[in-house]
Structure 1
Amino acid sequence: MTKSELILEIAAAHPNLLIKDIDLIVSTIFDEIGTSLAQGGRVELRGFGAFFVKNRKARTGRNPRTGDAVEVHEKYVPFFKTGKELRKRTNSQMDEA
C-alpha cells in the first residue's frame, strides 16, 4: 500500500474528513517518526510494532561485479519490528488465503 492509497482508504472509512486534512495527518505522523529516528530515538505503536535505529559497524565488503574489496563505512539504518498483534493478524489472514 502506498501513502496515497492509505490516504484514500482513510477517506473512504471517514467521509466526514477532507482528503487534504488526512494527507496532513498522515504526513505529520511519518515526519515525526522520521525525525525521532534521525535523533536516535525509538517509536513504538502498541499492537503494530516499533521503529528503531541499528548501528552497522564499518567492514570490508566485496564489489559483486569485480570481486574487489571495498571499505563500507559505519552507518545507521532504520528497522521495524512487528508487534505481537500485527503478527497474529497477518498470520491468521495468510492462513485463510
Structure 2
Amino acid sequence: MNKSQLIKHIASIAGLTQAQADDALDAFCTIVQSELAHDGEVNITGFGSFKVTQRAERKGRNPKTGEKVKIAARKVVKFKAGKTLKDAVA
C-alpha cells in the first residue's frame, strides 16, 4: 500500500475527505519525526512503538575490494510491533 492508497482508506474509514485524511497523515508523520528527532519515543497502544537507539561503531568490509572499513556509530529508528498488531498478522 502506498501513501495515496492509505489516505483513501483513512478517508473512507474515518468519514473524512481525502484532503482532511492527507492533512491528518502528514500531521502524524510530522509529530513522530519531531519527537524522534528530540530522542523521544512514540507509543501507540496495540499498534507499536517508535524509538531512537544508538548503533555502536563496528567493523565492516567493502564487498567490492574486500578492504576492512570502519562503520561509524549512528542513531537509528526502531519500531516494535504491539500485541494487537502481532496477533492480527499471525
TM-score (ref. length: structure 1): 0.86
What is the aligned partner in structure 2 of residue 48 from structure 1? Answer: 47
Which deviations, in whole Å up to 9, do the C-alpha atoms of 1:12-68 show, x marking residues without a partner? 2244x2211110110110111111111111100000000011111112211111111
Unpaired stretches in structure 1, ≥5 consecutive residues? 92-97
- Tell me how far 1:84 sits from its aligned partner: 0.8
Figure out how many residues of one structure are paired with residues of the other and give that number. Answer: 90
Partner SS state of residue 77, structure 1: strand
The letter for the 2-side match of 1:6 is: L
- Tell me how far 1:6 sits from its aligned partner: 0.7
The CA distance in 2 between the partners of 1:14 and 1:81, in whole Å, is: 25
What is the aligned partner in structure 1 of residue 64 from structure 2? Answer: 65
Q: Determine if the alignment matches structure 1 residue 84 to structure 2 residue 61.
A: no
The CA distance in 2 between the partners of 1:3 and 1:33, in whole Å, is: 16
The letter for the 2-side match of 1:83 is: G
C-alpha change, 1:84 and 1:14, in structure 2 (3 Å) is closer
